[in-house]
Structure 1
Amino acid sequence: MPKKIPEMIQIKDKQFKKYLSKEEIQETVQQLAAQVSEEYEGKELVLLGILNGCFLFLSDLVREMKTDPEISFLKLSSYEGSESSGQVKQLIGLDEGLDGKHVLIVEDIVDTGNTLEHIISSLENEGAESVKVCTLLLKPDVYSKDIAIDYVGREIPNDFVVGYGMDYDGQGRSLEHLYQLEKA
């Protein structure tokens, strides 16, 4: 008998309601992996994961892909609690050259685009053959940049979500399902 997904969970001072099941997430990841594999077949690809939130998504994505990309990570921060601070801080960075390689930035979620803009401006001088973006979730209502999001798993409303690598104030990343902040 399948395990029942809790309808509501509490993390610290916030209530979250069930939003996407593990199965729905995996179906979305499989669709993205098929698209990425097709486009980058026979090409030298670097998946550039943006930590911390992307770690589960990137892991599942690369296991579903039919290519064998290099994997690297950047760690940036723009959130304080459940709100974007508007300021992007780079905490750790890319440590290998990108000359002639195709780079696919892998994000768990894109909302305002501030982090993405910061990353792409940093990569412009690295000599990459191409730079594209793949995100599991996109919040189109608040996305304010002209940067193309090449692979989008799902569009969601501008609600705060936790689980599947995404957190609220450091907690909730290990949840296998996705939960949305319950509005008061």
Structure 2
Amino acid sequence: MNKVLYSEEEIALQVQQLAAQISDYYAPRVSIAEPLVLLPVLKGAFIFSADLVRQLTVPVRVEFLRASSYRSGTVSGALELDIPGASALRGQHLLILEDIIDTGKTVSQILMALRACEPASLQICALLDKPARRVSAIELAFCGLTIAGDRFVIGYGMDLAERYRELPYVGEIDTCTF
């Protein structure tokens, strides 16, 4: 690994700020009977989502999405997508939780699939944004931290070939040494 980009403390502060923004935005829109439906994208967003959920002050329901395109490498391939049934999402306020928005291809396909479910609203929250590699136009309703340049990051749920997810910080790794 080359260096730590965001420390555990910086991430915790950012998650707290995102939770406050999300709670403020959705407070007039959701209720116990109609909670906000959080859609963490597995596997990368599981740690971010767990930390975020505990700080939200609005009622939530959690449904997990599974999206995989990297397999064991650092180059994105064909996307495999597993989304809960449309009947569970129709008419609900949906918030996709992503660890990182990179090219935007994965979240674009997720958005397309979720729009077919006819939600009341559909937004994206990402802990990290890496605009240098964006190829699909993505509008983030809630965005945490920005990764400058084209760096491959690991930690806080993000991996390289299923390694490094457990790191409590976000770090840059030199993929040439892998």
2:55 matches 1:69:
no
1:45-104 deviations in whole A, cap 9, x for unaligned? 1000100000000000111111121101111111144523242112x3314611221100
Q: In the alignment, which residue of structure 2 is the partner of 1:87?
A: 78
Once residues 75 and 19 of structure 2 are traced to their aligned partners in structure 1, the CA distance between those partners, rounded to angstroms, is: 28
1:26-50 deviations in whole A, cap 9, x for unaligned? 0010110000000111413100010
Q: In the alignment, which residue of structure 2 is the partner of 1:99?
A: 90
Q: In the alignment, which residue of structure 2 is the partner of 1:7?
A: none
Q: Which moved more, 1:94-103 or 1:160-169?
A: 94-103
Q: Which runs of 5+ in 2 are unaligned?
A: none
Q: Which has the higher strand share?
A: 1
2:167 matches 1:175:
yes
Once residues 99 and 89 of structure 1 are traced to their aligned partners in structure 2, the CA distance between those partners, rounded to angstroms, is: 22
Partner amino acid for 1:118? Answer: Q
Once residues 19 and 79 of structure 1 are traced to their aligned partners in structure 2, the CA distance between those partners, rounded to angstroms, is: 22
Q: In the alignment, which residue of structure 1 is the partner of 2:120?
A: 129
Once residues 103 and 137 of structure 1 are traced to their aligned partners in structure 2, the CA distance between those partners, rounded to angstroms, is: 19
1:6-31 deviations in whole A, cap 9, x for unaligned? xxxxxxxxx34222111000001011
Q: Which moved more, 1:54-63 or 1:35-44?
A: 35-44
Partner amino acid for 1:93? Answer: I
* TM norm structure 2: 0.89
Q: Which runs of 5+ in 1 are unaligned?
A: 1-14
Q: In the alignment, which residue of structure 2 is the partner of 1:20?
A: 6
2:109 matches 1:118:
yes
Q: Identity of counterpart residues, as a percentage?
A: 38
1:128 shift after superposition: 0.3
Contact 2:129 2:146 in 1 (8 A): yes
Q: In the alignment, which residue of structure 2 is the partner of 1:46?
A: 37
Q: Say how many residue pairs are matched.
A: 169
Matching of residues 125-164 of structure 1 within 5 Å: 125-157=116-148, 158-164=150-156
Q: Which moved more, 1:78-87 or 1:167-176?
A: 78-87
Once residues 60 and 76 of structure 1 are traced to their aligned partners in structure 2, the CA distance between those partners, rounded to angstroms, is: 20
